[in-house]
Amino acid sequence: MLTALLPQLLCASAERLCQSVISMDSEATERLKKLQGKQLAFTLRELKLRLVLTAGTDRLLFNRHNEAVDCDIRTDLASLRQLRDASQLTRLIKADALQIEGDIQVAQQYSYFLQSLNPDWQEALSGYVGDAMAHKIALSIQQLQCYLQQKSRLIEQSMTMLAQDELLLTPSSLEMQQFSQDVSELSARVSRLTASLPDVEE
- Domain assignment present for 201: no
If asked whether residues 23 and 77 sit together in one domain, one would say yes
Of 95, 126, 148, 116, which Cα lies nearest the Cα of 31? Answer: 116
If asked whether residues 51 and 106 sit together in one domain, one would say yes
Read off the pLDDT of each residue in 184-197 and give the average, rounded to a whole number: 71
If asked whether residues 101 and 139 sit together in one domain, one would say no
Q: Using the 3D structure, point to which of 104, 119, 134 is the last residue of a domain.
A: 119
Which residue range is the domain that position 24 belongs to? 2-119
- The enclosing domain of 47 has a CATH number of 3.30.1050.10
How far is 180 from 119, CA to CA, in rounded Å? 53
**Cα-Cα end-to-end distance for the chain:** 91
If asked whether residues 136 and 179 sit together in one domain, one would say yes
Specify whether the CB–CB gap between 69 and 59 falls below 8 A. Answer: no
Instruction: Decide: pTM greater than 0.75.
Output: no
If asked whether residues 109 and 137 sit together in one domain, one would say no
- Domain assignment present for 80: yes
User: pLDDT tens digit string along 6-48?
Assistant: 777 878 888 888 888 888 888 888 889 889 999 999 888 877 7
How far is 43 from 71, CA to CA, in rounded Å? 11
Q: What is the total count of domains within the chain?
A: 2
- Angle 73-112-140 from CA coordinates, rounded to 5°: 120
If asked whether residues 102 and 150 sit together in one domain, one would say no
User: pLDDT tens digit string along 100-127?
Assistant: 899 988 988 888 888 888 877 666 667 6
If asked whether residues 23 and 106 sit together in one domain, one would say yes
Count of CB atoms within 10 A of residue 132's CB?
Answer: 9
User: pLDDT tens digit string along 61-107?
Assistant: 999 888 999 999 888 877 777 766 667 777 777 878 888 899 988 98
If asked whether residues 89 and 177 sit together in one domain, one would say no
If asked whether residues 78 and 156 sit together in one domain, one would say no
- Phi, psi of 73, rounded to the nearest 5 degrees: -115, 130
If asked whether residues 128 and 61 sit together in one domain, one would say no
Read off the pLDDT of each residue in 174-186 and give the average, rounded to a whole number: 74
